[in-house]
């Protein structure tokens, strides 16, 4: 999601720089309702369960399964943004092939496969133990709500409002730590590159040679995508501020603490690998289907 460039964002990042080295304070509530503050992350009792059931539950509660449903729209947007001489019926066929290759159920199956391959019972039990808590369920719902199409305008209003209501440095430090753990801006770029390559490769059999992107043009386009890193990080900070706006600093600190644990990093890294591998596999499948559906044009 692209946000309008707002000058205060530069100050926002600068404001948070001095707080990265602060001592971290974690907060959590045990089963007896006792609130604990510590400089060590919370410890959660392992949760027993079958591997397949735990993987499915983790992907459901975390919102991962829901987020995969947005990918076909992203691929469609990449395709529609390309200026091509395709006839209407050809565009329809290309869109159908891309939609079939990048079906959410295919992507979801690949992400589940990554967790099967990289399964770690202790880490998964820790993750499930956290995700099942009321706070983490609440946060998962906030993340899903913030990703809904209807939230775009609300996010833009929130962003503009920050010009007159700059967050406290401690709050900025929390969302910066969260983004450092999630690396969402980096993932957004990688996803954009894969989507760009998928559309480019899929269109090759359909377009005459003079209309296809050259290797130099493709490389230039990818470099342009990767050059957006800093802007996307700033946008991610704003997005997290918006998403978590109803949480207290203590609640957000607990969530960030989980993301920084070994199990939290494992969960995010496995999600990431499964998603990118699935996107690349779907890209290859789309290219093969395109080559079979359209006679190559010279």
Q: CA quadruple 274, 129, 254, 133: dihedral positive or negative?
A: positive
Output the CA angle 162-257-58, nearest 5 degrees. Answer: 100
Please compute the mean of the pLDDT values over residues 243-247 and round it to a whole number: 94
Residue whose entry in the numeric block shows the structure tokens 């499915």? 56
**Residue 38, helix vs strand vs coil:** strand
Q: Domain coordinates of the chain in residue numbers?
A: 47-293
* Rounded-to-integer distance, Cα 175 and Cα 274, Å: 25
* Rounded-to-integer distance, Cα 287 and Cα 74, Å: 17
Q: Residue 233 pLDDT more than 60?
A: yes
Choose among 285, 227, 255: nearest CA to 102: 285
Model confidence pTM above 0.75: no
DSSP H or E segment with residue 223: helix 215-226
Q: What is the CA radius of gyration of the chain?
A: 21
Q: Are 212 and 172 in contact (CB under 8 A)?
A: no
Residue 175 CB partners (closer than 8 Å, separation 6+)? 237, 240, 241, 244, 252
Please compute the mean of the pLDDT values over residues 52-67 and round it to a whole number: 88
Q: Are 27 and 35 in contact (CB under 8 A)?
A: yes
Q: Are 75 and 157 in contact (CB under 8 A)?
A: no
Residue 28 pairs in a beta bridge with 36
Please compute the mean of the pLDDT values over residues 127-135 and round it to a whole number: 91
Span of 17-21, 133-137, 205-209 with lowest mean pLDDT: 17-21
DSSP-derived secondary structure for 53-73:
HHHHHHHHHTTHHHHHTTHHH
The Cα diameter of the chain in Å comes to 72
Residue whose entry in the numeric block shows the structure tokens 């997005």? 239
| Percent of the residues in the chain that have a pLDDT greater than 70, as a whole number | 80
In this structure, how many other beta carbons lie within 10 angstroms of the beta carbon of residue 235? Answer: 22
**Residue 189, helix vs strand vs coil:** helix
Predicted pLDDT of residue 8: 40
If pLDDT is split at 50, 70 and 90, which confidence band does 35 have?
A: low
Q: Are 8 and 163 in contact (CB under 8 A)?
A: yes
Choose among 111, 17, 27: nearest CA to 69: 111
Q: Are 47 and 129 in contact (CB under 8 A)?
A: yes
């Amino acid at each position: 999601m692209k946000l309008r460039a707002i000058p205060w964002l530069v100050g926002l990042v600068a404001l948070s720089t001095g707080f990265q080295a602060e001592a971290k304070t974690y907060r959590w509530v045990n089963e007896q309702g006792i609130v604990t503050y510590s400089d060590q992350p919370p410890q959660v009792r392992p949760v027993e369960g079958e591997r397949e059931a735990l993987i499915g539950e983790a992907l459901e509660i975390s919102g991962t399964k829901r987020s995969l449903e947005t990918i076909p729209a992203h691929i469609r947007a990449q395709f529609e943004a390309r200026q091509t001489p395709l006839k209407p019926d050809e565009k329809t066929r290309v869109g159908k092939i891309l939609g079939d290759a990048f079906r959410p159920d295919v992507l979801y199956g690949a992400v589940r496969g990554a967790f099967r391959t990289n399964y770690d019972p202790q880490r998964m039990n820790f993750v499930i133990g956290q995700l099942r808590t009321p706070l983490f369920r609440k946060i998962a719902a906030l993340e899903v709500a913030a990703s809904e199409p209807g939230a775009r305008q609300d996010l833009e209003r929130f962003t503009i409002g920050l010009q007159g209501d700059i967050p406290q440095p401690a709050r900025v430090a929390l969302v910066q730590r969260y983004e450092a753990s999630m690396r969402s801006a980096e993932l957004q770029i990688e996803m954009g590159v894969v989507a760009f390559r998928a559309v480019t490769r899929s269109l090759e059999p359909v377009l005459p040679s003079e209309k296809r992107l050259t290797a130099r043009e493709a490389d230039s386009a990818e470099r342009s995508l990767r050059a957006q890193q800093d802007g996307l990080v700033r946008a991610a900070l704003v997005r997290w501020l918006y998403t978590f706006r109803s949480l207290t600093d203590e609640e957000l600190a607990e969530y960030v603490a989980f993301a920084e644990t070994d199990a939290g990093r494992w969960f995010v890294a496995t999600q990431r690998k499964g998603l990118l591998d699935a996107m690349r596999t779907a890209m290859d499948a789309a290219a093969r289907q395109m080559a079979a559906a359209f006679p190559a044009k010279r």
